[in-house]
Structure 1
Amino acid sequence: MKIQQKHVIESVANALQYISYYHSPDFIQAMVSAHEKETHQSAKNAIAQILINSKMSAIGQRPMCQDTGIVNVFVEVGMDVWEADLSLEDMINEGVRQAFTNKNNPLRASIVKDPLFSRTNTKDNTPAVIHMKVVLGNKVDFIVAAKGCGSENKAKFAVLQPDDNVTDWVLKMIPTMGAGWCPPGVIGIGVGGSAEKAMLMAKESLMESIDIQDIAQKPNPSHLEKLRLELMEKINNLGIGAQGLGGVSTVLDVKIKDYPSHAASQAVAIIPNCAATRHLHFSLDGLGVAQLPAVDMSVYPDLEMDTSRYKKINLDTLNKAQMNQWQVGDTLLLTGTIITGRDAAHKRLKQMLDSGQGLPKA
Structure 2
Amino acid sequence: MNLKQLSELLGLSQTTVSRALNGYPEVNEATRERVLQAVKETGYRPNKAAQRLATGKAGSIGLVMPTAPDHYSDVHFGEFLTGLGEEAVRHDFHFVIMPADPNDEVGALRRLAISGNVDALFVAYMRGHDPRLPMLKSLSMPFLVHGRSFGSEPDYPYLDIDNEAAFYDAARLLLQLGHTRFALLNGPGHLDFAIRRKNGLVAALSERGLSLPEDCMSHTSMTDELGQSAMERFLQMPEPPTAILCSSTVLALGAIRAVNQAGLKLGEDISLIAHDDVLPHLKPENFSVPLTTTRSSLRAAGVRIAQRLIGTVKQDGPFPEQELWKTELIVRASTGPVPRQAQNVGGV
TM-score, normalised relative to structure 2: 0.28
Higher relative contact order at CA 8 Å, sep ≥6: structure 1 or structure 2?
A: 1
Structure with larger Rg:
2
TM-score, normalised relative to structure 1: 0.27
